[in-house]
Amino acid sequence: MIADDPEADAKLGDGDGPAAAPRGTSRAVTLFLCGDVMTGRGIDQILPHPGKPRLLEPYVESALTYVELAERATGPIPKPVGFDYVWGDALAELRRVQPDARIVNLETAVTASEEAWPGKDVHYRMHPENVPCLAAAAIDCCSLANNHVLDWGRSGLVETLATLHDAGIRTAGAGSDASAAAAPAVIDISADVRVLVFAFATEDSGVPHDWRATREQSGVNLLEELSTRSAATIAGQVAVYARNGDIVVASIHWGGNWGYEIPAHQREFAHLLIDAGRIDLVHGHSSHHAKGIEVYRDKAILYGCGDILNDYEGITGYESYRGNLALMYFATLDAGSGDLQRLSMTPTHMHHFRINRAPPEAASWLSQTMDRECRKLGPRVEPQADGTLELKWG
């Protein structure tokens, strides 16, 4: 639910959204973005402080089963592993690129709560004492507007927020009420440049409607509809917080898990967000594999970033999508205009619950697949000599 904000409403006028405010001084800002980071369930069990493995799934009663499935498929996983283990080769890539801000969708509650949300088949949680695994990658912001953050109830959400904030990790998309859930995470880059992350979720990504944050109730920042009115309300909220020199990211958990097609309503809404005000980059996630990218009015739209880390290793189904392959997205934007200057992607392969550089064959498959899907939206993807992929447009 988009929070009611009198100041934002006053700025909306006739519903067309506020005019874009003047931008700040030009300088390049590089963001690291990825899709779903799921450090719960099986991955939690190999970390130094595993929580209780009890699950309420129809066919699996213990999170340890997911560790056993992965080991059966690819061999033993040393455990307990260090907090930095799961990031593997991604750490060297982050050191190489040195992005100014690091933004992920955290697809798990961080809690020891036993209050599993009733009627839900799958519940993810990571024990709070394992939060250093996120700090190991120096994550700046976790989007929490997704279909797993309240898996262990509202008490689990309270503990998730407190644990992340105590670790110095900013959050967006969930909070103690609608206003808190709608407020952006603010990442200071320099004295005059910030990154603002607003996060949203839609019901078609699996978010129960009862999870929406209200004036009286904690929850997620649920988008009731992808409409002109919603885009105008978001533009009004951005106008309240944004100042010259800010880069503004809209992080959205939307759509299903599988399939490359970009629904027309998603594309139209992404365009509305950019047209209505100050959104510089749309960070889409929920799909378990990478989807096409569009550059609209010089703003990047990542429709689906895919899962970069989960415990699905050893689980069969949807093999044609090669969901164990993902991308690290490095988007360089001009702080003066918010326009995309460069988008580089590093192919990754998840193996032994760890992020690895994708081997040549896998990287080639990702390159060809992304080029095919991006060309439907305008850009193309070119492989580079160092194994990365580069988006080309215009």
Element housing 180 (H / E)? helix 178-182
pLDDT at 4: 40
Handedness of CA 73, 78, 81, 87 (dihedral sign): negative
- Is the pLDDT at 89 greater than 90? The verdict is yes
Does residue 236 lie within any of the structural domains?
yes
Does residue 320 lie within any of the structural domains?
yes
pLDDT interval class at 167 (50, 70, 90): very high
SS3 347: strand
pLDDT at 278: 87
- Is the pLDDT at 348 greater than 60? The verdict is yes
pLDDT at 375: 98
- Is the pLDDT at 49 greater than 80? The verdict is yes
* pLDDT (average), residues 278-304: 97
Residue range of the domain that includes 310: 6-392
Residue pair 14/48 in contact by the 8 Å Cβ criterion: no
Round the average pLDDT of the chain to a whole number and report it.
93
Output the CA angle 222-224-239, nearest 5 degrees: 70
- Is the pLDDT at 370 greater than 60? The verdict is yes
What span, in angstroms and rounded, lies between the C-alpha atoms of 164 and 180? Answer: 15
The residue length of the chain stands at 394
Does residue 342 lie within any of the structural domains?
yes
- Is the pLDDT at 79 greater than 70? The verdict is yes
pLDDT at 24: 54
Percent of the chain's residues with pLDDT above 70: 93
Count of alpha carbons within 13 angstroms of residue 226, beta-carbon side: 20
What span, in angstroms and rounded, lies between the C-alpha atoms of 77 and 43? Answer: 11
Does residue 1 lie within any of the structural domains?
no
How are the residues of the chain apportioned to helix, strand and coil, as percentages rounded to the nearest 5?
Answer: 30, 25, 45
What span, in angstroms and rounded, lies between the C-alpha atoms of 337 and 247? Answer: 9
* pLDDT (average), residues 33-60: 97
- Is the pLDDT at 5 greater than 50? The verdict is no
pLDDT interval class at 25 (50, 70, 90): low
- Is the pLDDT at 96 greater than 50? The verdict is yes
Q: If we measure between CA atoms, which residue out of 105, 91, 186, 99 comes closest to residue 137?
A: 91
* pLDDT (average), residues 321-343: 97
pLDDT interval class at 245 (50, 70, 90): confident
Does residue 174 lie within any of the structural domains?
yes
Q: Residue 102: beta bridge partners?
A: 32
- Is the pLDDT at 52 greater than 90? The verdict is yes
pLDDT at 244: 86
Spatial CB neighbours of 386, under 8 Å, sequence gap ≥ 6: none
Count of alpha carbons within 13 angstroms of residue 361, beta-carbon side: 1
pLDDT digits (tens, 9 = 90+) for 269-281: 999 999 986 899 9
- Is the pLDDT at 61 greater than 80? The verdict is yes
pLDDT digits (tens, 9 = 90+) for 191-214: 999 999 999 999 999 999 999 999
- Is the pLDDT at 9 greater than 60? The verdict is no
Q: pLDDT: is 195 or 6 the higher one?
A: 195
Specify the number of domains making up the chain.
Answer: 1
Percent of the chain's residues with pLDDT above 90: 91
The token pair at 177 is: 């009420």
What span, in angstroms and rounded, lies between the C-alpha atoms of 201 and 221? Answer: 6
* pLDDT (average), residues 72-84: 95
Element housing 269 (H / E)? helix 264-276
pLDDT at 22: 52
pLDDT at 106: 98
Instruction: Provide the whole-model pTM.
Output: 0.93
pLDDT interval class at 333 (50, 70, 90): very high
What span, in angstroms and rounded, lies between the C-alpha atoms of 337 and 195? Answer: 13
Does residue 135 lie within any of the structural domains?
yes
Does residue 85 lie within any of the structural domains?
yes
pLDDT at 10: 31
pLDDT digits (tens, 9 = 90+) for 98-151: 999 999 999 999 999 999 999 999 999 999 999 999 999 999 999 999 999 999
pLDDT digits (tens, 9 = 90+) for 308-317: 999 999 999 9
CATH number at residue 167: 3.60.21.10
Does residue 97 lie within any of the structural domains?
yes
